[in-house]
């Protein structure tokens, strides 16, 4: 007499359903109630993938290679006794294909600014599975809060350059659900724009007026000065 099988439990051995392309993953299938031997069959989209016979109470292990987008589809496991009809099905599992993020690019519409000016910084990773979380840094000091972007768009922060210390080096960091895959951006520096003197435009204007007077005087010599000189002789 065989004890009635319970519905088997299908779990990823790695503990996560987030996978990357060409990754090997292992699924474990086990009925807690039942007398060995038990036959376990793994299905993907209701198509049989593999079958394992267990003569003890250890789980059946199925190793898969994620080689295409179709390999992340729905998986189920069936437990049954040999030479018996029916069987019990497990829960379903679906993998999520994740892509590592690319190195983010940190940029701003301007690299020169004055004290007391408002500026923006944007951080963007072109590749990588969403959502992507961005964190900005001034030197080694983080600038909270971090920004999580659900769409493929840049994270933007607004800064007020209040003192010379605000003109230092900035960076940003990006990460997503891919484990241990944080990437740092290029460095970006704001430089202090030289303040032009208010008297400088006036000096330039006066210089131009003087130059025009000299040119005008030179042009007037043949027409006015010389005739007057000859008339006086």
> CATH number for the domain including 43?
2.60.40.10
Helices (H), 44-144: none
Q: How many distinct structural domains can be found in the chain?
A: 2
Q: Which of 97, 113, 143 is the last residue of a domain?
A: 97
Compute CA distances 168 → 113, 115, 142, 160, 189, whole Å. 12, 13, 13, 13, 6
Q: Please tell me the pTM assigned to this model.
A: 0.57
CB 104 within 8 A of CB 125: yes
The domain in which residue 125 lies consists of 105-192
Any domain includes 92: yes
Task: Please state, as a whole number, how many other Cβ atoms lie within 10 Å of the Cβ of residue 100.
Answer: 16
Per-residue pLDDT of the chain (233 residues; tens, 9 = 90+): 457 889 999 999 988 898 988 899 999 999 998 888 999 999 999 899 999 999 999 999 999 999 988 899 899 999 999 767 778 999 999 998 888 899 999 999 999 999 999 999 999 999 999 999 999 999 999 999 999 999 999 999 999 999 988 998 999 999 998 878 899 999 999 998 876 545 456 666 777 888 887 887 787 777 765 666 566 66
On whether both 53 and 124 belong to a single domain, the answer is: no
Task: Please state, as a whole number, how many other Cβ atoms lie within 10 Å of the Cβ of residue 161.
Answer: 17
On whether both 115 and 49 belong to a single domain, the answer is: no
Tokens standing for residue 231 = 């008339």
């Amino acid at each position: 007499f065989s004890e009635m099988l319970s519905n088997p439990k299908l779990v990823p051995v790695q503990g996560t359903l987030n996978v990357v392309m060409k990754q090997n993953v292992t699924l474990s299938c086990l009925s807690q109630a039942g007398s060995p031997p038990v036959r376990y069959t793994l299905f993907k989209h209701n198509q049989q993938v593999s079958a394992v016979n267990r003569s003890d109470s250890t789980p059946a292990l199925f190793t898969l290679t994620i080689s295409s987008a179709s390999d992340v589809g729905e998986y189920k496991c069936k437990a049954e006794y040999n030479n018996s009809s029916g069987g019990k099905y497990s829960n379903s599992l679906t993998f999520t294909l994740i892509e590592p993020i690319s190195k983010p690019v940190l940029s701003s519409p301007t690299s020169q600014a004055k004290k007391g000016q408002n500026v923006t910084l944007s951080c963007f990773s072109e590749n990588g599975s969403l959502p992507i979380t961005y964190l900005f840094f001034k030197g080694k000091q983080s600038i909270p809060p971090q920004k999580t972007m659900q769409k493929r768009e840049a994270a933007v922060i607004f800064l007020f350059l209040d003192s010379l210390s605000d003109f230092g080096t900035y960076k940003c960091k990006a990460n997503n659900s891919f484990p241990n895959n944080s990437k740092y951006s290029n460095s970006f520096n704001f430089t202090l724009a030289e303040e032009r003197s208010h008297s400088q435009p006036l000096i330039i204007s006066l210089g131009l007026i003087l130059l025009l007077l000299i040119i005008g005087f030179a042009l007037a010599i043949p027409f006015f000065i010389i005739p007057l000189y000859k008339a006086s002789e």
